[in-house]
Structure 1
């Protein structure tokens, strides 16, 4: 760096060249004549190493996204580039505000959580990286949320900032998050699908000016506050969904684009129109400094994974990858394990006929003050549900132009229904969705015909 300050060379980073055009009078003659002296050669190697490293990183980044993106979209390379991503987002109307409830007392600042040497090193790396990008800054806030790590499935560490105390006194944003079932139903009869996954979408939203102090977190390096939005803030989902709905609102209203947080789904039948719309969506992302993760994008597919489902023309089924481990799911030995299994199963309940009836012995175990008893009924329910996942039918996506049929039934403990639709081609009724619900203690006393009427209602 001493050499650079002394000679102040003019460097053309694009061409990889430098010239001594700004040397002081005392050194200019020497600089012009000593093209091969050790000092100049050392400087040449230094500059060349920087240039080569920069070019190599850029080439690797370009090669990566080009191999994953259709050629007609290569003009949007900046959208798929990792290097382009790491820039501070501009202030926008979507900046994430944190409004405290009127009269609420500020939470007491948290104390440092103990960390292992490995965790401290990981935290140091995270802090340095976020400071470099300008995503955080040092703080003197009266608030301090604690940080800790959780292990990833691959053995790595994920940083968590516990904003629970801050969230408790924050005014809640009631902006609606779309229901997955409603989004999937809107796909109707599309045959060409493109999915665009945004890279670190939350970091593309700034914290509203003046609210940064409310985000402060405490670390062994000191107190830092966020400049961009991170996962963990209440209202973060609502802020991001509102932003995406506003940015792509005209496409969404046209019924050809679906947005669920950081996933954008484009669905049409005509390839030419599909490509045109894909370009328009990418242009909109560029205009709003949003970037995509090429390895999580899919283009012009006839069948595609979306939100845990496999979508194809007029059909929907469970993602086999999500179900691959169900057969080996170990028998639960405590309530939390039952809740975890039911949480997974409940996500796919629209595929399972009489789900509530099957799950009844397991849901009973999760009730408050219910003693733990794993008997024949629980074992049969657990194994029965696992088996239904491997034999669940492929559902039809509703087509509002074809007739529907609703069939209902009731048992001693639950009601159930199946919504079917007539296929005009094969003249057969195909299931669209299954529904089931457990009866409460009072409803179980109804006469059977009242239970059947309840199922219809």
Structure 2
């Protein structure tokens, strides 16, 4: 169930906790020989809501009035809160330089298989301790190449996902401002990987 939280979001003070820039996060993986991606299953819903906040998160529908007991999607500071929580829990692993956290995605990278297995074990042990669940369907363990966050990452290079390129090439030439903004957003996001694009 999804509620319309726009009115609440208008009165919510923004949490300015930084979300990592995707290209910066993925740059760390380029020289790794082994990469694992883990995804927290329904990440936001794994966070409880304080009782005083529940009354602000009420939903009214034809079946009655309901309160969220878990953090809903669409709330203004959900991403910042989740990023802070994950970086706090995995601070040691991030500082050791073998892990990247992007909201509910965790990426582990290493040069040796032995280290990689040890890192995966440490992360899974911590997940068990804090009762955070992952989606096995969305996990990729011990890969040498990984498609993540719209990019293809390997120990050799960082490349644009060819499905994204094909989608852009199939679109007609932009005919209005909105279509041009969409194209420029794509081009700007991948500017470091498009050699002929001025920066």
**What TM-score comes out, normalization by structure 1 length?**
0.42
The unaligned stretches of length 5 or more in structure 1 are 1-125, 127-159, 356-415, 417-435, 437-457
Q: Is the 8 A contact 2:47 2:70 kept in 1?
A: yes
Q: 1:203 — aligned with what?
A: 45
Q: 1:271 — aligned with what?
A: 113
Counterparts of residues 297-312 of structure 1 (less than 5 Å): 297-312=139-154
Hey, which bits of structure 1, 4+ residues long, moved more than 4 A?
A: none
1:242 partnered with 2:99 = no
Aligned-residue offset at 1:295: 1.6
Question: Comparing both chains, which one has the higher relative contact order based on Cα–Cα distances under 8 Å and sequence gaps of 6 or more?
Answer: 2
> Deviation string for 1:57-108 (max 9, x for gaps)?
xxxxxxxxxxxxxxxxxxxxxxxxxxxxxxxxxxxxxxxxxxxxxxxxxxxx
Q: 2:132 — aligned with what?
A: 290
Q: Is the 8 A contact 2:45 2:71 kept in 1?
A: yes
Aligned-residue offset at 1:188: 4.8
SS in structure 2 of the partner of residue 299 of structure 1: strand
CA gap 1:354/1:202 in 2 versus in 1, 3 angstroms: same
> Deviation string for 1:182-218 (max 9, x for gaps)?
2122225211111111110000011122110111122
Q: 1:182 — aligned with what?
A: 24
Number of residue-to-residue matches in the alignment? 199
SS in structure 2 of the partner of residue 325 of structure 1: helix
SS in structure 1 of the partner of residue 101 of structure 2: strand
SS in structure 1 of the partner of residue 52 of structure 2: coil
Q: 1:143 — aligned with what?
A: none
SS in structure 2 of the partner of residue 273 of structure 1: helix
Counterparts of residues 78-157 of structure 1 (less than 5 Å): 126=1
2-structure distance, mates of 1:312, 1:188: 6
Q: 2:99 — aligned with what?
A: 257
The unaligned stretches of length 5 or more in structure 2 are none
CA gap 1:218/1:334 in 2 versus in 1, 3 angstroms: farther
Q: Is the 8 A contact 2:33 2:111 kept in 1?
A: yes
- Give the superposed CA RMSD: 1.6
Q: Which of the pair has more CA radius of gyration?
A: 1
1-structure distance, mates of 2:165, 2:196: 19
Q: 2:67 — aligned with what?
A: 225
